Amino acid sequence: MKYLIDNQLPVGLVGHLKGHGIDAVHVSQLGLDCASDQEIWDYAKINNCVIVSKDEDFFHLSGTSEDGPQLVWVRLGNCRNFVPFAAFDYVLSALLQAIDKGSKVVEIR
């Protein structure tokens, strides 16, 4: 499963996740950096990606779509780039288990 990292998170998170064996790509690497939330949602759905975002709009989209992509909702507020890396490291095993079990939304706080 590929993890699609949204604009509000650093591109460096892709390399960090890949270092843990996770297939990840940033929206900017796909030319989707100016895409709407709906366009990113649709891309993730078509390409079987898990969206990783700080954007609450994706949480609301997930509540209106039974067959939409899974979401990792990063709820860390404004922070330095290393904070999301550390947060992912801390919850990675539980996060991957939740995604594998089919959880629609997994929060990182």
Instruction: Spell out the domain ranges in the chain.
Output: 2-108
Under CATH, what is the fold of the domain 2-108? Rossmann fold (3.40.50)
Structure token pair of residue 50? 């898990």
What whole-number distance in Å separates Cα of residue 105 and Cα of residue 82? Answer: 23
10-residue mean pLDDT series, the chain (109 residues): 95 96 98 97 98 96 91 82 82 96 95
Q: CB under 8 Å to 40, separation ≥6 — which residues? A: 4, 6, 27, 32, 51, 58
Rg (CA), the chain: 13
Q: Look at residue 77 in the predicted model and tell me its pLDDT.
A: 65
What whole-number distance in Å separates Cα of residue 92 and Cα of residue 100? Answer: 12
